Amino acid sequence: MEQGSGARSLRGPPEPDTTIVTVRLKPDTSYAIVKNSRETREILDKLEAQHPDADTELHYTTPFELLVATILSAQSTDARVNLVTPALFKRYPDARALANARLPELEKQILSTGFYRAKSRSLVGMATALAEKHGGEVPASMDALVELPGVGRKTANVVLGHALGVPGLPVDRHVLRVANRIGIAESDDPVVVEQQLCAAMPMDRWTRTSDTLILHGRRICRPRPLCDQCAVRDDCDYFEHVISRVRDGKAPKVKRSLAKKKKKTRGSPTVRKARR
């Protein structure tokens, strides 16, 4: 959620040929008030009931495999990563094997996940550090994990919470969007949102909270949200102050712009541009 005293973008990236609605809110009419712990827990109860299968969608059998898969998932999809990792894990079953990988060969294996050159260097660097400093094992410590090449706080929390039994609350773009929209957090900074959610939720629910918000963001609270399918619509600040007001025609100063299709005219040299 963007902050500032000017216009606030209250919808996700526009799709082609759609009406874009921008609602301008004065600073003193902002609804950005974070809900208290009791309200946040009640909201997560409802979301967990709606998404009882919430869990990481990356396939793994060891902490090392999950660490590799999570690094590969940056700017990619879990489904794409899951297509690549079976052969990758067979070729490099542990940190020592991956540390000895030849970059050109590794790049070919992970090519489809995107940013394969940077990811290859991160994977080999991470594996080398594990072999040299941690006996080839993945450390169960945030401080130790974030010192590994290619490992940030989000990746560390994924591995800690899912593979090492250490409570962690990963914050990705879905968690940022959903938590800010509902009003259970208020920040563009993933670390701040992590702190706010951790303060509101019991430690043993941290990982589950992240999984649930991620899945809700993928299935329901997308950039163009499916509010009619949301279990917490009545608790959601975004729905109350934006969606419902737009539907009721009560939104203040609504600016509309329509993305128009460019039609190819007979005899005209203009060529219709592909929609992005």
Give catalytic residue positions.
154, 172
Token output for 245: 């007001």
Per the structure block, which two tokens stand in for 145?
Answer: 């994990």
d(CA 173, CA 180): 11
For strands 19-23 and 254-258, give the pairing.
antiparallel
What backbone torsions phi and psi does residue 197 show, to the nearest 5 degrees? Answer: -70, -40
Residue with tokens 């706080």: 153
47 closest CA partner among 167, 195, 220, 207:
220
Smallest Cα–Cα separation from 52: which of 198, 235, 233, 208? 208
Contact partners, residue 259, CB within 8 Å, separation at least 6: 14, 16, 17, 18, 20
Q: How far apart are CA 151 and CA 138, in angstroms?
A: 12
* Tokens of residue 229, six digits: 């399918």
Handedness of CA 211, 212, 216, 221 (dihedral sign): negative
Q: Alpha-carbon distance 184 to 36, whole Å?
A: 8
Q: At what angle do helices 63-72 and 116-133 cross, to 10 degrees?
A: 150
